[in-house]
Structure 1
Amino acid sequence: MTTEARAVLFHRTGDPDVLTIERVRLDDPGPGEVRIRVDALGLNRAEALFRAGRYYYQPTLPASRLGYEAAGVVESVGAGVTEFAPGDPVLTGPQIEMSAQGVYGDRIVLPVESVIPRPASVDAVTGAATWLTYATAYGGLVETGGLRPGEHVVITAASSGVGTAAIQVAARTGAVPIAVTRSGDKRRRLRDVGAAHVIVASEVDVPEEVRRLTGGRGAELIFDPVAGPELPALAEAASVAGTIVLYGWLGGQPMLMPLNWPLTIHGYANGHLSATVSGRRRINRYIEAGLRDGGLRPVVGKVFTGLERIVDAHRLMESNTHVGKIVVTVEH
């Protein structure tokens, strides 16, 4: 049976104004698929890059979809799906190709591998701010970076969704999170999230301040989504034989190699960890345990009501004035 749904599409790359809400065809779920009523969307920087044509893969135009992260309820399941049943609260996130499977809409159909159980105690707004941010922070810091109790970790772009999640993951691990932000206005909020120290990059030299805070040693781990030509300067904040985990390329320019060796640099891709059943299981159990014990507390910076506010939500994301995750609720 085929019905209609509302979806956010774009027919050309560009600024937030290219986004439109249109009626699209929605089929019943096929074998191995799940149909979801979407109640809230969590915005990610990757989606702004994808919309602008600056992501690591390109949209399929015309009429590309958009979005990785949603919270909702299962409406129906296809043949062979035993993991979910109608009425189950769920999240989305792993193994989504945005052009065809983007979740910005009021109803979506996804492969079961892209759907995650949502604890009954987690509401849709909180859920939409949860999976991708904590999956990236956990995968980058713990699985890739090997972060251990007592170590110092420098977290750049700390006011972002992943940044605030990384602060909490580091603290829950027993490490010392050092948050780096460009705005002094965000200092108090980042402290509230759990940062042991906050460095305002416009006020001090970041590597010098990191060395002061670490007794001259530098940080064992640096967690950064920017990369680009400024990486060698940031790398000066690393300890001898330290590690840098790059989980993005927001700088958009060729990356220069730091020369303060010995130094280990990893490029972290969330899709690689979540591609396997065992990887998704580790992510999900970590997040569920953190939500249960209170060590992980999703930070929602702003909630927009209604799919019609998606352009405003993207504008706010690109302003970099918020702290935490931007969420858009979907009315039915």
Structure 2
Amino acid sequence: MPKIVRFHALGGPEVLKLDEVDVPLPGTGEVRIRTRALGLNRAEVMFRTGNYVVDPVFPQALGYEASGTVEAVGSDVAALAVGDAVSVVPAFAMTDYALHGELVLAPAHAVVRHPQQLTWEEAAGVWMPFITAYGGLVDLAGLIPGDTVVIPAASSSVGLAAIQIANMIGAKPVALTRTGSKRRQLIDAGAAAVIDTEEEHVVERLRDITGGAGVQVIFDPVAGPLLPSLIDAAATGATVIIYGALSTDATALPVLAVLGKHITIRGYELFEVTTDPERLRPAVAFVRDGLESGALKPTLDKIFEMAHIADAYRYLETNGQVGKVVVTVPQTATN
């Protein structure tokens, strides 16, 4: 039987097990995929530790992203065929579908043929970061050429995707990082400027970068004590997109600055886009166009084998990576 990554109790990476599980044939609106690579995300860490928007039901599988080959399709699925090379858009709850395993089911509406030039590992790391960044920057903030966008946690896979999307549009991406050790990598990744938030004065640097005009978009997964400074450096009419709460410290709201600058602050999560067909179609088209033109390319940091998936998550949780952590699925006669 195929091996599926599951956990039977909340905890650290050590609770992850490779269980042998019978995977049924796809039902209505479903596709069965023999996976080749799996993309790891912080959402799965939060889910595994009991800090996510849904609670696990044990024994619980997990995983939002995978690439592989369609092995079977439901009777009503016409857009996909057996043998198609596909990857999966996170557009479902992990309590309904989970993709970290050798053989998995996925809802057909979330399964996409990816551009042929992508490797399996790259394809497994496309949709979460790029559609998260597209949804915040394009769908909600309306980023346009010439805008300056500030990107905290810029070395994450979403941060790197946001840098690429900003450059694709013709905007100016400013990367924030807690230390200067990642500066060269972020410049190489396309950042127009990099600010070391522990060593530099963020507001002064942003005013210098924008010539005093202020930034038009803040795309923030951190919040916490730095957010008031970012709002201080924002332009009149700026948009603040908050899509995470990585900081464990309180987030103060500078009310007078928000009022006086007519700033819009918007909470956002990926599923707003991926569960709405009218918003998902242009998102997938935008990302696919960027991948095919070469303007967008997944940034892979480190690759593990599925047998070492606990080590892969340990590495992810050190926060030292620049880009995506991916797990490969060895192909054997029994999986």
Q: Tell me the TM-score normalised to structure 2 length.
A: 0.94
- SS of the aligned residue for 2:238 comes to strand
- SS of the aligned residue for 1:27 comes to coil
Question: How many angstroms apart in 2 are the aligned matches of 1:19 and 1:88?
Answer: 30
User: Which letter does structure 2 place at the counterpart of 1:45?
Assistant: R
Question: How many angstroms apart in 2 are the aligned matches of 1:240 and 1:276?
Answer: 31
- What residue in structure 2 maps to residue 34 of structure 1? 31
- What residue in structure 1 maps to residue 239 of structure 2? 243
Deviations 1:179-216 (A, max 9, x none): 00112111111111100001111111222211121112
- What residue in structure 2 maps to residue 23 of structure 1? 20
| Deviation (angstroms), 1:276 | 2.3
Alpha carbons 1:227, 1:249 under 8 Å: kept = yes
User: Which letter does structure 2 place at the counterpart of 1:264?
Assistant: T
Identify the match of residue 194 of structure 1 among 190, 194, 200: 190
User: Which letter does structure 2 place at the counterpart of 1:48?
Assistant: V
Structure 2, unpaired ranges of 5+: none
- What residue in structure 1 maps to residue 144 of structure 2? 148
1:290 matches 2:281: no
User: Which letter does structure 2 place at the counterpart of 1:201?
Assistant: T
- What residue in structure 1 maps to residue 213 of structure 2? 217
Question: How many angstroms apart in 2 are the aligned matches of 1:120 and 1:86?
Answer: 16
1:311 matches 2:310: yes
- What residue in structure 2 maps to residue 177 of structure 1? 173
- What residue in structure 2 maps to residue 272 of structure 1? 272
Identify the match of residue 208 of structure 1 among 204, 208, 218: 204
- SS of the aligned residue for 2:26 comes to coil
Question: How many angstroms apart in 2 are the aligned matches of 1:55 and 1:237?
Answer: 32
After the TM superposition, which of the residue ranges 217-226 and 110-119 deviates more from structure 2?
A: 110-119
Question: How many angstroms apart in 2 are the aligned matches of 1:256 and 1:51?
Answer: 29
| Deviation (angstroms), 1:254 | 5.4
User: Which letter does structure 2 place at the counterpart of 1:185?
Assistant: S
- What residue in structure 2 maps to residue 322 of structure 1? 321
User: Which letter does structure 2 place at the counterpart of 1:77?
Assistant: V
Identify the match of residue 59 of structure 1 among 56, 60, 65: 56
Question: How many angstroms apart in 2 are the aligned matches of 1:231 and 1:112?
Answer: 39
| Deviation (angstroms), 1:139 | 0.8
| Deviation (angstroms), 1:230 | 4.1
The root-mean-square deviation of aligned C-alpha atoms, in Å, is 1.4
- What residue in structure 1 maps to residue 129 of structure 2? 133
- SS of the aligned residue for 1:125 comes to helix
Alpha carbons 2:7, 2:48 under 8 Å: kept = yes
User: Which letter does structure 2 place at the counterpart of 1:291?
Assistant: L
| Deviation (angstroms), 1:51 | 1.2
Question: How many angstroms apart in 2 are the aligned matches of 1:13 and 1:224?
Answer: 28
Alpha carbons 1:94, 1:115 under 8 Å: kept = no
Deviations 1:88-108 (A, max 9, x none): 011112322113411111110
User: Identical aligned pairs, as a percentage?
Assistant: 44
Alpha carbons 2:7, 2:59 under 8 Å: kept = yes
Question: How many angstroms apart in 2 are the aligned matches of 1:233 and 1:150?
Answer: 22
Q: Tell me the TM-score normalised to structure 1 length.
A: 0.95
- SS of the aligned residue for 1:73 comes to strand
Alpha carbons 2:89, 2:274 under 8 Å: kept = no
Alignment of 1:103-118 (within 5 A): 103-118=99-114
Deviations 1:108-149 (A, max 9, x none): 011112211212222211101111110011111011011110
User: Which letter does structure 1 place at the counterpart of 2:29?
Assistant: G
Alpha carbons 1:94, 1:113 under 8 Å: kept = no
